[in-house]
A = this chain, B = another copy of it.
Amino acid sequence: MAGKKAVRCVGVLTGGGDCPGLNAVIRSVTKTLLYDHGATVYGIYDGYAGLVEHRYERLDGPDVSNILTRGGTILGSSNKANPFAYFPPQKIGGKHEPPHDASARAKALYRKLKLDALVCIGGDGTMAIADGLIRRCGMNVVGVPKTIDNDLPQTDYTFGFMTAVQTATEAIDRLHSTAGSHHRVMVAEVMGRYAGWLALYAGAASGADVILIPEIPYDMAVVAAYVKDRYRRGKRFSIVCVAEGAKPRGGTMTVERVVADSPDPIRLGGIGHKVAREIEDLTGLESRATVLGYVQRGGTPCAFDRTLATAYGHHATELVCGRRFGRLVVMRRGRITSVPIQSIAGRVKKVPRNYPLLRAAQAVNTCFGR
Protein backbone atom coordinates (compact mmCIF):
# COMPACT_ATOMS: atom_id res chain seq x y z
CA MET A 1 0.00 0.00 0.00
CA ALA A 2 3.10 2.19 -0.12
CA GLY A 3 2.43 5.48 -1.84
CA LYS A 4 -1.30 5.10 -1.56
CA LYS A 5 -3.29 7.70 0.28
CA ALA A 6 -4.27 6.26 3.67
CA VAL A 7 -7.92 5.67 4.32
CA ARG A 8 -9.15 7.73 7.25
CA CYS A 9 -12.89 7.56 7.24
CA VAL A 10 -15.34 4.97 5.90
CA GLY A 11 -19.12 4.67 5.88
CA VAL A 12 -21.01 1.40 5.95
CA LEU A 13 -24.65 0.62 5.20
CA THR A 14 -26.91 -2.38 4.67
CA GLY A 15 -29.61 -2.41 1.98
CA GLY A 16 -32.33 -4.80 0.88
CA GLY A 17 -33.90 -7.67 2.75
CA ASP A 18 -32.85 -9.03 6.09
CA CYS A 19 -30.16 -11.71 5.99
CA PRO A 20 -28.22 -13.63 8.67
CA GLY A 21 -24.61 -12.47 8.67
CA LEU A 22 -25.13 -8.76 8.00
CA ASN A 23 -23.96 -7.92 11.51
CA ALA A 24 -20.94 -10.17 11.11
CA VAL A 25 -19.87 -8.13 8.05
CA ILE A 26 -20.48 -4.84 9.88
CA ARG A 27 -18.39 -6.09 12.79
CA SER A 28 -15.59 -7.35 10.58
CA VAL A 29 -15.40 -4.14 8.52
CA THR A 30 -15.58 -1.91 11.59
CA LYS A 31 -13.08 -3.78 13.76
CA THR A 32 -10.59 -4.17 10.92
CA LEU A 33 -10.75 -0.46 10.10
CA LEU A 34 -10.53 0.55 13.77
CA TYR A 35 -7.84 -1.84 14.97
CA ASP A 36 -5.85 -2.59 11.86
CA HIS A 37 -5.98 0.80 10.16
CA GLY A 38 -6.84 3.33 12.85
CA ALA A 39 -9.64 4.68 10.66
CA THR A 40 -12.99 6.19 11.67
CA VAL A 41 -16.18 4.33 10.79
CA TYR A 42 -19.67 5.71 10.37
CA GLY A 43 -22.72 3.44 10.29
CA ILE A 44 -25.46 4.83 8.03
CA TYR A 45 -28.97 3.92 9.22
CA ASP A 46 -31.61 2.14 7.17
CA GLY A 47 -29.60 1.73 3.98
CA TYR A 48 -29.77 4.52 1.44
CA ALA A 49 -32.56 6.18 3.42
CA GLY A 50 -30.06 7.20 6.09
CA LEU A 51 -27.65 8.41 3.43
CA VAL A 52 -30.25 10.83 2.09
CA GLU A 53 -31.69 11.74 5.48
CA HIS A 54 -28.29 12.14 7.16
CA ARG A 55 -29.03 9.57 9.82
CA TYR A 56 -25.82 7.91 11.00
CA GLU A 57 -23.65 7.20 14.00
CA ARG A 58 -19.97 6.80 14.60
CA LEU A 59 -19.17 3.14 15.29
CA ASP A 60 -16.65 2.21 17.94
CA GLY A 61 -15.52 -1.15 19.26
CA PRO A 62 -18.30 -1.57 21.85
CA ASP A 63 -20.96 -0.84 19.21
CA VAL A 64 -19.98 -3.96 17.30
CA SER A 65 -19.29 -6.19 20.30
CA ASN A 66 -21.71 -9.08 20.72
CA ILE A 67 -23.31 -8.58 17.31
CA LEU A 68 -21.57 -11.48 15.52
CA THR A 69 -24.22 -13.90 16.67
CA ARG A 70 -27.24 -11.69 16.06
CA GLY A 71 -29.52 -11.96 13.04
CA GLY A 72 -30.69 -8.88 11.17
CA THR A 73 -28.67 -5.66 11.00
CA ILE A 74 -27.93 -3.22 13.78
CA LEU A 75 -27.91 -0.46 11.15
CA GLY A 76 -31.42 -1.21 9.92
CA SER A 77 -32.21 -1.61 6.28
CA SER A 78 -34.62 -0.38 3.69
CA ASN A 79 -35.96 -2.35 0.79
CA LYS A 80 -37.00 0.62 -1.23
CA ALA A 81 -34.88 3.67 -0.50
CA ASN A 82 -33.15 4.92 -3.65
CA PRO A 83 -31.33 8.27 -3.64
CA PHE A 84 -32.09 8.68 -7.34
CA ALA A 85 -35.83 8.10 -6.91
CA TYR A 86 -36.40 8.98 -3.30
CA PHE A 87 -39.73 8.74 -1.52
CA PRO A 88 -39.81 11.01 1.54
CA PRO A 89 -40.67 9.14 4.72
CA GLN A 90 -44.39 8.75 5.02
CA LYS A 91 -46.06 9.89 8.19
CA ILE A 92 -48.47 7.58 9.94
CA GLY A 93 -51.76 8.20 8.25
CA GLY A 94 -50.18 10.57 5.69
CA LYS A 95 -50.26 10.06 1.95
CA HIS A 96 -47.49 9.03 -0.43
CA GLU A 97 -45.54 11.76 -2.16
CA PRO A 98 -43.95 11.21 -5.59
CA PRO A 99 -40.26 10.31 -5.72
CA HIS A 100 -37.49 12.76 -6.61
CA ASP A 101 -33.73 12.74 -7.14
CA ALA A 102 -32.12 13.14 -3.72
CA SER A 103 -28.63 12.04 -4.68
CA ALA A 104 -27.26 15.50 -3.92
CA ARG A 105 -28.27 14.96 -0.29
CA ALA A 106 -26.47 11.62 -0.31
CA LYS A 107 -23.38 13.25 -1.76
CA ALA A 108 -23.57 16.03 0.79
CA LEU A 109 -23.38 13.54 3.65
CA TYR A 110 -20.49 11.75 1.98
CA ARG A 111 -18.61 15.06 1.90
CA LYS A 112 -19.68 16.27 5.30
CA LEU A 113 -18.32 13.09 6.93
CA LYS A 114 -15.20 13.30 4.74
CA LEU A 115 -15.67 9.69 3.73
CA ASP A 116 -12.88 8.05 1.76
CA ALA A 117 -15.25 5.25 0.82
CA LEU A 118 -18.65 3.70 1.42
CA VAL A 119 -19.09 -0.04 2.00
CA CYS A 120 -22.51 -1.12 0.69
CA ILE A 121 -23.77 -4.52 1.83
CA GLY A 122 -26.74 -5.74 -0.14
CA GLY A 123 -28.21 -7.55 -3.11
CA ASP A 124 -28.61 -6.66 -6.76
CA GLY A 125 -30.87 -3.69 -6.04
CA THR A 126 -28.38 -2.25 -3.58
CA MET A 127 -25.52 -2.79 -6.04
CA ALA A 128 -27.41 -1.13 -8.92
CA ILE A 129 -27.76 1.98 -6.76
CA ALA A 130 -24.12 1.68 -5.64
CA ASP A 131 -23.16 1.72 -9.30
CA GLY A 132 -25.13 4.94 -9.70
CA LEU A 133 -23.38 6.53 -6.72
CA ILE A 134 -20.03 5.68 -8.33
CA ARG A 135 -20.85 6.91 -11.80
CA ARG A 136 -23.13 9.82 -11.12
CA CYS A 137 -21.91 11.07 -7.74
CA GLY A 138 -18.25 10.15 -7.89
CA MET A 139 -18.28 8.20 -4.65
CA ASN A 140 -15.79 5.48 -3.80
CA VAL A 141 -17.80 2.34 -3.13
CA VAL A 142 -16.96 -1.26 -2.28
CA GLY A 143 -19.78 -3.80 -2.36
CA VAL A 144 -20.43 -6.91 -0.26
CA PRO A 145 -23.04 -9.22 -1.79
CA LYS A 146 -25.94 -10.56 0.19
CA THR A 147 -28.80 -12.79 -0.78
CA ILE A 148 -30.67 -15.54 0.96
CA ASP A 149 -31.50 -17.00 -2.43
CA ASN A 150 -27.85 -17.42 -3.52
CA ASP A 151 -28.86 -16.21 -6.99
CA LEU A 152 -26.30 -13.43 -7.40
CA PRO A 153 -23.98 -14.09 -10.35
CA GLN A 154 -20.19 -14.13 -10.04
CA THR A 155 -20.08 -15.71 -6.61
CA ASP A 156 -20.30 -19.34 -5.45
CA TYR A 157 -21.99 -18.53 -2.18
CA THR A 158 -23.31 -15.51 -0.38
CA PHE A 159 -23.57 -15.43 3.40
CA GLY A 160 -27.04 -16.01 4.77
CA PHE A 161 -27.78 -18.71 2.22
CA MET A 162 -26.44 -21.60 4.29
CA THR A 163 -28.34 -20.40 7.38
CA ALA A 164 -31.55 -20.35 5.33
CA VAL A 165 -30.73 -23.85 4.04
CA GLN A 166 -30.20 -25.04 7.61
CA THR A 167 -33.43 -23.46 8.85
CA ALA A 168 -35.45 -24.89 5.96
CA THR A 169 -33.81 -28.30 6.39
CA GLU A 170 -34.69 -28.44 10.08
CA ALA A 171 -38.27 -27.46 9.28
CA ILE A 172 -38.58 -30.17 6.62
CA ASP A 173 -37.05 -32.68 9.05
CA ARG A 174 -39.95 -31.83 11.36
CA LEU A 175 -42.53 -32.31 8.62
CA HIS A 176 -41.17 -35.82 8.11
CA SER A 177 -42.67 -36.86 11.48
CA THR A 178 -46.15 -35.85 10.47
CA ALA A 179 -45.86 -37.19 6.93
CA GLY A 180 -44.72 -40.57 8.19
CA SER A 181 -47.28 -40.81 10.98
CA HIS A 182 -50.24 -39.80 8.86
CA HIS A 183 -49.24 -41.23 5.48
CA ARG A 184 -49.54 -37.81 4.01
CA VAL A 185 -47.90 -35.76 1.32
CA MET A 186 -46.29 -32.77 3.02
CA VAL A 187 -45.33 -29.81 0.84
CA ALA A 188 -42.80 -27.26 2.10
CA GLU A 189 -42.58 -24.00 0.19
CA VAL A 190 -39.18 -22.33 0.51
CA MET A 191 -37.82 -19.05 -0.82
CA GLY A 192 -36.35 -18.68 -4.28
CA ARG A 193 -38.30 -16.62 -6.80
CA TYR A 194 -35.94 -16.88 -9.72
CA ALA A 195 -33.55 -19.67 -8.80
CA GLY A 196 -33.89 -22.97 -7.00
CA TRP A 197 -30.71 -23.00 -4.89
CA LEU A 198 -32.46 -23.02 -1.55
CA ALA A 199 -35.01 -25.65 -2.61
CA LEU A 200 -32.27 -27.84 -4.07
CA TYR A 201 -30.00 -27.62 -1.02
CA ALA A 202 -32.72 -27.92 1.62
CA GLY A 203 -34.49 -30.62 -0.38
CA ALA A 204 -31.33 -32.65 -0.86
CA ALA A 205 -30.29 -32.13 2.78
CA SER A 206 -33.63 -33.29 4.14
CA GLY A 207 -34.07 -36.15 1.72
CA ALA A 208 -37.17 -34.65 0.07
CA ASP A 209 -38.76 -37.04 -2.40
CA VAL A 210 -39.76 -34.30 -4.81
CA ILE A 211 -37.95 -31.00 -5.44
CA LEU A 212 -39.49 -28.38 -7.71
CA ILE A 213 -37.35 -25.45 -8.85
CA PRO A 214 -37.82 -22.61 -11.33
CA GLU A 215 -35.05 -23.95 -13.57
CA ILE A 216 -36.98 -27.17 -14.27
CA PRO A 217 -40.64 -26.46 -15.06
CA TYR A 218 -42.53 -29.36 -13.62
CA ASP A 219 -45.15 -31.68 -15.03
CA MET A 220 -47.67 -32.41 -12.30
CA ALA A 221 -48.59 -35.74 -13.91
CA VAL A 222 -44.97 -36.85 -13.43
CA VAL A 223 -45.03 -35.76 -9.80
CA ALA A 224 -48.31 -37.55 -9.12
CA ALA A 225 -47.12 -40.74 -10.82
CA TYR A 226 -43.95 -40.67 -8.70
CA VAL A 227 -45.90 -40.21 -5.46
CA LYS A 228 -48.29 -43.01 -6.38
CA ASP A 229 -45.41 -45.28 -7.24
CA ARG A 230 -43.87 -44.64 -3.83
CA TYR A 231 -47.20 -45.51 -2.27
CA ARG A 232 -47.27 -48.79 -4.19
CA ARG A 233 -43.78 -49.60 -2.92
CA GLY A 234 -45.10 -49.22 0.63
CA LYS A 235 -43.89 -45.65 1.23
CA ARG A 236 -47.14 -44.13 2.25
CA PHE A 237 -45.86 -40.61 2.60
CA SER A 238 -43.92 -38.16 0.46
CA ILE A 239 -42.09 -34.93 1.15
CA VAL A 240 -42.17 -32.20 -1.50
CA CYS A 241 -39.85 -29.17 -1.38
CA VAL A 242 -40.99 -26.46 -3.73
CA ALA A 243 -39.31 -23.14 -4.51
CA GLU A 244 -41.51 -20.06 -4.35
CA GLY A 245 -40.83 -19.48 -8.05
CA ALA A 246 -41.36 -23.02 -9.35
CA LYS A 247 -43.71 -23.17 -12.28
CA PRO A 248 -45.48 -25.85 -14.29
CA ARG A 249 -44.17 -26.81 -17.70
CA GLY A 250 -45.70 -24.59 -20.31
CA GLY A 251 -47.10 -22.41 -17.54
CA THR A 252 -46.14 -18.87 -16.76
CA MET A 253 -44.10 -18.18 -13.68
CA THR A 254 -46.72 -17.92 -10.98
CA VAL A 255 -44.73 -15.60 -8.83
CA GLU A 256 -44.28 -13.00 -11.55
CA ARG A 257 -47.96 -12.69 -11.97
CA VAL A 258 -48.28 -12.34 -8.28
CA VAL A 259 -45.62 -9.65 -8.17
CA ALA A 260 -47.59 -7.55 -10.60
CA ASP A 261 -50.73 -7.77 -8.47
CA SER A 262 -49.37 -7.33 -5.03
CA PRO A 263 -46.65 -5.58 -3.08
CA ASP A 264 -46.13 -8.72 -1.05
CA PRO A 265 -46.19 -11.96 -3.00
CA ILE A 266 -45.01 -14.10 -0.11
CA ARG A 267 -48.21 -13.15 1.67
CA LEU A 268 -50.20 -15.14 -0.85
CA GLY A 269 -48.04 -18.23 -0.50
CA GLY A 270 -49.31 -19.45 -3.78
CA ILE A 271 -47.28 -22.28 -5.16
CA GLY A 272 -47.02 -24.53 -2.09
CA HIS A 273 -50.77 -24.72 -1.54
CA LYS A 274 -51.41 -25.07 -5.27
CA VAL A 275 -49.02 -28.02 -5.54
CA ALA A 276 -50.52 -29.70 -2.46
CA ARG A 277 -54.01 -29.35 -3.85
CA GLU A 278 -53.06 -30.74 -7.23
CA ILE A 279 -51.24 -33.73 -5.74
CA GLU A 280 -54.24 -34.50 -3.56
CA ASP A 281 -56.55 -34.24 -6.57
CA LEU A 282 -54.38 -36.48 -8.74
CA THR A 283 -53.46 -39.12 -6.15
CA GLY A 284 -56.28 -39.08 -3.62
CA LEU A 285 -53.66 -38.86 -0.87
CA GLU A 286 -54.04 -36.28 1.88
CA SER A 287 -51.68 -33.42 1.12
CA ARG A 288 -50.76 -30.44 3.25
CA ALA A 289 -48.62 -27.38 2.62
CA THR A 290 -46.45 -25.27 4.90
CA VAL A 291 -45.02 -21.95 3.73
CA LEU A 292 -41.79 -21.45 5.64
CA GLY A 293 -41.81 -17.72 4.94
CA TYR A 294 -39.87 -15.11 6.88
CA VAL A 295 -38.54 -17.61 9.39
CA GLN A 296 -35.92 -18.45 6.75
CA ARG A 297 -34.48 -14.93 6.85
CA GLY A 298 -33.97 -14.55 10.54
CA GLY A 299 -32.08 -15.84 13.50
CA THR A 300 -28.45 -16.24 14.40
CA PRO A 301 -26.25 -17.09 11.41
CA CYS A 302 -24.87 -20.62 11.29
CA ALA A 303 -21.14 -21.00 11.87
CA PHE A 304 -20.42 -21.28 8.14
CA ASP A 305 -22.10 -17.93 7.46
CA ARG A 306 -20.42 -16.24 10.41
CA THR A 307 -17.00 -17.18 9.06
CA LEU A 308 -17.94 -16.35 5.46
CA ALA A 309 -19.33 -12.96 6.46
CA THR A 310 -16.25 -12.23 8.57
CA ALA A 311 -13.95 -13.08 5.67
CA TYR A 312 -16.08 -11.03 3.23
CA GLY A 313 -15.97 -8.03 5.54
CA HIS A 314 -12.22 -8.33 5.87
CA HIS A 315 -11.72 -8.54 2.13
CA ALA A 316 -13.96 -5.50 1.62
CA THR A 317 -11.71 -3.59 3.99
CA GLU A 318 -8.64 -4.68 2.08
CA LEU A 319 -10.21 -3.40 -1.13
CA VAL A 320 -11.04 -0.10 0.58
CA CYS A 321 -7.55 0.31 2.05
CA GLY A 322 -5.96 -0.71 -1.25
CA ARG A 323 -8.17 1.94 -2.87
CA ARG A 324 -9.58 -0.68 -5.23
CA PHE A 325 -12.97 0.97 -5.48
CA GLY A 326 -15.97 -0.04 -7.54
CA ARG A 327 -15.46 -3.69 -6.71
CA LEU A 328 -17.69 -6.36 -5.20
CA VAL A 329 -16.34 -9.08 -2.90
CA VAL A 330 -17.11 -12.57 -4.20
CA MET A 331 -16.17 -16.19 -3.64
CA ARG A 332 -15.11 -17.87 -6.87
CA ARG A 333 -13.99 -21.45 -7.04
CA GLY A 334 -13.60 -21.51 -3.30
CA ARG A 335 -11.52 -18.32 -3.02
CA ILE A 336 -12.43 -14.88 -1.85
CA THR A 337 -11.71 -12.28 -4.50
CA SER A 338 -13.58 -9.43 -6.23
CA VAL A 339 -15.30 -8.40 -9.47
CA PRO A 340 -16.55 -5.03 -10.76
CA ILE A 341 -19.80 -4.03 -9.06
CA GLN A 342 -21.62 -3.49 -12.33
CA SER A 343 -20.86 -7.03 -13.49
CA ILE A 344 -23.76 -8.47 -11.52
CA ALA A 345 -26.34 -6.00 -12.76
CA GLY A 346 -29.67 -7.44 -13.82
CA ARG A 347 -28.51 -11.02 -13.94
CA VAL A 348 -29.60 -14.05 -11.98
CA LYS A 349 -27.44 -17.09 -11.25
CA LYS A 350 -29.56 -20.14 -11.92
CA VAL A 351 -28.91 -23.77 -10.99
CA PRO A 352 -27.19 -25.36 -14.01
CA ARG A 353 -28.49 -28.72 -15.19
CA ASN A 354 -25.15 -30.41 -14.54
CA TYR A 355 -24.71 -28.98 -11.04
CA PRO A 356 -23.21 -31.81 -8.94
CA LEU A 357 -25.79 -31.66 -6.14
CA LEU A 358 -28.62 -31.62 -8.68
CA ARG A 359 -27.18 -34.67 -10.40
CA ALA A 360 -26.61 -36.40 -7.05
CA ALA A 361 -30.21 -35.72 -6.02
CA GLN A 362 -31.46 -37.13 -9.32
CA ALA A 363 -29.26 -40.20 -8.89
CA VAL A 364 -30.75 -41.03 -5.49
CA ASN A 365 -34.11 -41.00 -7.21
CA THR A 366 -35.45 -37.59 -6.26
CA CYS A 367 -38.23 -36.45 -8.58
CA PHE A 368 -37.82 -33.02 -10.20
CA GLY A 369 -41.15 -33.16 -11.98
CA ARG A 370 -39.80 -34.20 -15.34
Q: Residues of A at under 8 Å CB distance from B?
A: 14, 17-18, 20, 22, 27-28, 31-32, 35-36, 46, 61, 65-66, 68-73, 76-79, 90-94, 156, 162, 165-171, 173-178, 180-183, 186, 201-202, 204-207, 228, 231, 233, 235, 264, 266-267, 269, 273, 276, 283-285, 288-295, 297-300, 302-304, 306-307, 310-311, 313-315, 317, 331-336, 356-357, 359-361, 363-365
Q: Could you jot down 18 A-B contacts, CB within 8 Å?
A: A18-B181, A31-B365, A36-B363, A69-B206, A71-B176, A72-B177, A77-B182, A92-B228, A92-B284, A93-B284, A165-B307, A201-B303, A205-B310, A264-B288, A266-B288, A310-B360, A310-B361, A333-B335
- Name A32's closest neighbour in chain B (CB-CB): B363
A294 to B186, CA, bound (A): 9
With A77-B182, A335-B333: A71-B174 Cβ-Cβ less than 8 Å: yes
Name A173's contact: one of B17, B28, B35, B299 (CB within 8 Å): B299
- Name A96's closest neighbour in chain B (CB-CB): B284
Decide if B28 touches A364 in the complex (CB within 8 Å): yes
Name A175's contact: one of B27, B201, B269, B298 (CB within 8 Å): B298
Give A221 Cβ to nearest chain B Cβ, in Å: 14
A61 to B365, CA, bound (A): 11
Kindly list chain B residues whose C-beta atoms are within 8 Å of the C-beta of A169. Answer: 303, 306
How often does this chain occur in the complex, in copies? 4
Decide if A298 touches B174 in the complex (CB within 8 Å): yes
Decide if B304 touches A162 in the complex (CB within 8 Å): yes
Give A78 Cβ to nearest chain B Cβ, in Å: 8
Decide if B364 touches A35 in the complex (CB within 8 Å): yes
Decide if A357 touches B311 in the complex (CB within 8 Å): yes
A21 to B363, CA, bound (A): 18
Decide if A207 touches B333 in the complex (CB within 8 Å): no
Decide if A290 touches B294 in the complex (CB within 8 Å): yes
Kindly list chain B residues whose C-beta atoms are within 8 Å of the C-beta of A231. Answer: 92
- Name A90's closest neighbour in chain B (CB-CB): B284
With A92-B283, A182-B77, A303-B166: A295-B360 Cβ-Cβ less than 8 Å: no
A35 to B264, CA, bound (A): 36
Give A109 Cβ to nearest chain B Cβ, in Å: 20
Kindly list chain B residues whose C-beta atoms are within 8 Å of the C-beta of A264. Answer: 288
Kindly list chain B residues whose C-beta atoms are within 8 Å of the C-beta of A304. Answer: 162, 165-166, 205, 302, 304
With A92-B228, A303-B205: A174-B182 Cβ-Cβ less than 8 Å: no
Give A274 Cβ to nearest chain B Cβ, in Å: 11
Decide if A20 touches B177 in the complex (CB within 8 Å): yes
Decide if A202 touches B303 in the complex (CB within 8 Å): yes
Decide if A295 touches B175 in the complex (CB within 8 Å): yes
Kindly list chain B residues whose C-beta atoms are within 8 Å of the C-beta of A175. Answer: 294-295, 298
With A175-B298, A231-B92, A288-B267: A27-B364 Cβ-Cβ less than 8 Å: yes
- Give the 9 A-B CB pairs with smallest separation, nearest first: A71-B177, A174-B298, A334-B334, A314-B360, A72-B177, A177-B298, A174-B299, A72-B181, A31-B364
With A35-B364, A167-B174, A169-B303: A293-B290 Cβ-Cβ less than 8 Å: yes
